[in-house]
Amino acid sequence: MDGRLAGKVAIVSGAGAIGPGLSNGRATAILYAREGAQVFATDLDPDSLAETQSIVEAEGGRCTTQVADASSAEAVCAYVERCIDLFGRVDILQNNVGIVDVGGPEELTEGQWDKLFAVNVKSMFLSCKYVLPRMVERGRGVIVNISSIASIRYTGYPCASYAASKAAVNQLTQNIAIQYADKGIRANCVLPGLMDTPQIRHYVQSGYGNDPDAMIKTRNRSCPTGQMGTPWDVAAASLFLASDEARYVTGSLLVVDGGLTSRSC
């Protein structure tokens, strides 16, 4: 299959969706496959993961799946090794796994804080830990981590643990970018702004009074474009960073937010 990722093997974590429709991870898995990649998709939800696989294969793409807890070292090591066994390499590692808790330090429990950091940060540390040696062996590779504009500014409702975790993702990524720059490996972040995904209905609407329609209207009004972005916007940015077109791009924090962070208020 021709395309910008033709002949590449891409691990895409968080390739399912927490509700109906497209998540960032699902859209990215579909787009990578459309561009010729052999996609190795992982997610904690087997049914949602199977749905992603069926969409990719219905379009003629290639998608292998493995159910995995991204915060478990054993599970992450297992899916990386299976990908290597099946395809011999990992060219692209795309980390999409993430959850949100609404609240500040007073509202959040210690358990919530620890779980969110395990899912949002530890998962990316683990996947990088097990993929990087394989990329070093081959002298090339690309890592794309999904962060958030919450890592660099307040987004309209309190989400202290989420914002802190995404700031950690930024620094994890930039540290990897510099450490491995002379080894042919690139690492970058995509920072989505307000996106219309199943995740916002599952995790975020409590920050808007638990009224999903009001939440959508408020989030749309908050965007300079008058409309939230979609998972395809995140997938397209990820594709650029994963492709050879971005061969001299590493350590970047690519903001995809319709101009939101450029506005003063």
Exactly one of 79, 162, 203, 208 is catalytic; which is it?
162
Which residue in this structure is represented by tokens 């690519």?
Answer: 254
CA distance 172 to 16: 24
CA distance 14 to 29: 9
Order of strands, edge to edge, in the sheet holding 9-13?
Answer: 62-67, 38-43, 9-13, 92-95, 141-146, 185-192, 253-256
CA distance 25 to 149: 17
Q: Who contacts 159 (Cβ-Cβ below 8 Å, separation ≥6)? A: 100, 101, 102, 103, 150, 204, 207
CA distance 204 to 188: 26
- H runs (alpha helix) in the chain: 24-34, 46-58, 73-87, 110-117, 123-138, 160-179, 198-199, 212-222, 231-242
Which residue in this structure is represented by tokens 């990215």?
Answer: 28
CA distance 175 to 12: 21
Q: Decide if 162 is catalytic.
A: yes
Answer for the pair 75, 68: CB distance below 8 angstroms, yes or no.
yes
CA distance 243 to 252: 14
Maximum pairwise Cα distance, the chain: 52
Query: Catalytic amino acids?
Result: 162
